[in-house]
């Protein structure tokens, strides 16, 4: 009998000067995803393809080329509750057998919205927690700049 894996939770919170609807949509629109989550604005990489099927059970694929290597970030949408909550699995095609889970919550606040992102992963990835937090924080900064 196998034992359940312990989970690690990395959380990042960001206040945005945009409505929850607009912030939520930026997570599902391939043209917008390519402007804040991936690309040269964030790191030295080329976007090859961004595809989404934003419905419960639908999949996404964000294929980029970094340092000569193709990396396909893939997952399935688990919750699509516009504009409050988005939940999806997150992994690398061909490399990740234990997809992690990302939960993004949006709440209206005066002047915009607060976005709370929780990345749930197996505790064996604990050495990557700070890097994961910093990566999401940087992407959310880019999202905030895009939605101004």
- The CATH number covering residue 23 comes to 3.30.530.20
Q: What is the pLDDT of residues 70-83, one digit of tens each?
A: 999 999 999 999 99
Note whether residue 95 is domain-resident.
yes
Note whether residue 20 is domain-resident.
yes
Note whether residue 24 is domain-resident.
yes
Q: How far apart are CA 61 and CA 91, in angstroms?
A: 10
Helix count and strand count (H, E) for the chain: 3, 7
Average of per-residue pLDDT values in the chain: 93
Q: Which two tokens stand for residue 81?
A: 């509750």
Note whether residue 135 is domain-resident.
yes
Q: Are 20 and 107 in contact (CB under 8 A)?
A: yes
pLDDT value of residue 1:
44
Domain total for the chain?
A: 1
Using the 8-state DSSP alphabet, how is residue 44 labeled? S
- CA-wise closest residue to 49 among 36, 67, 31: 31
Residues of the chain with pLDDT under 70: 1-5, 96-98
Domain extent for 60: 7-146
**CB neighbours of residue 53 within 10 Å:** 12
Note whether residue 66 is domain-resident.
yes
CA of residue 74 relative to chain centroid, distance = 10
Note whether residue 1 is domain-resident.
no
Note whether residue 85 is domain-resident.
yes
- CA-wise closest residue to 90 among 19, 5, 10, 1: 10
pLDDT value of residue 4:
57
Note whether residue 2 is domain-resident.
no
Q: Which two tokens stand for residue 39?
A: 């690309």
């Amino acid at each position: 009998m196998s034992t359940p894996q312990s989970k690690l939770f990395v959380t990042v919170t960001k206040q945005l000067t945009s409505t929850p609807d607009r912030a939520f949509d930026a997570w599902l629109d391939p043209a917008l995803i390519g402007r804040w989550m991936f690309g040269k604005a964030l790191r030295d990489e080329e976007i090859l393809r961004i595809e989404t099927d934003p419905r419960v059970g639908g999949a996404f694929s964000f294929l980029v080329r970094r340092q000569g290597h193709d990396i396909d970030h893939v997952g399935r949408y688990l919750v699509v509750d516009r504009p409050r909550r988005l939940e999806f699995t997150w992994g690398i095609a061909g490399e990740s057998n234990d997809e992690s889970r990302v939960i993004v919550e949006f709440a209206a606040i005066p002047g915009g919205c607060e976005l709370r992102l929780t990345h749930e992963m197996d505790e064996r990835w604990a050495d990557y927690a700070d890097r994961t937090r910093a990566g999401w924080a940087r992407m959310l900064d880019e999202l905030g700049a895009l939605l101004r």
